[in-house]
């Protein structure tokens, strides 16, 4: 870190900003406690070329996440339904 010295006025401004940030963060926490978000928590983003798209998923109505075109997805579903009927 440099040997930069802050003036009294700069220190006061820095402290005022730090206090304001702390007050705003406290308000955010209180607001979340009163009205929690349905989308809180971790999010996962998967690139369209990810090998995870070839995996089977359990629960939440997911049967298979499909990589490819809509036509390929329709064909796969038709074939799966045909196999299940046999």
Confidence at 20, pLDDT banded by 50, 70, 90:
very high
pLDDT reading at 63 higher than 60: no
Report domain extents, the chain: 51-85
DSSP 14-76: HHHHHHHHHHHHHHHHHHHHHS--TT-S------TT-GGGGSB--STT-SB---S-HHHHHHH
pLDDT reading at 61 higher than 50: no
Average pLDDT for residues 45-74, to the nearest whole number? 63
Average pLDDT for residues 23-50, to the nearest whole number? 77
Average pLDDT of the chain is 76
**pTM to 2 decimal places:** 0.40
Confidence at 52, pLDDT banded by 50, 70, 90:
low
10 Å Cβ neighbour count for 38? Answer: 5
In angstroms, the CA 16 to CA 23 distance is: 11
Task: Give the sign of the dihedral formed by CA 29, CA 31, CA 37, CA 43.
Answer: negative
């Amino acid at each position: 870190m440099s040997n930069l010295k802050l003036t009294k006025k700069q220190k006061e401004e820095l402290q005022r900003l730090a206090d304001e940030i702390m007050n705003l963060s406290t308000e955010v926490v209180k607001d979340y406690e009163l009205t929690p978000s349905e989308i809180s928590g971790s999010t996962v983003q998967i690139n369209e070329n990810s090998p995870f798209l070839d995996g089977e998923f359990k629960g939440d109505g997911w049967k298979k996440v499909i990589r490819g075109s809509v036509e390929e997805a329709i064909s796969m579903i038709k074939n799966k339904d045909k196999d299940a009927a046999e």
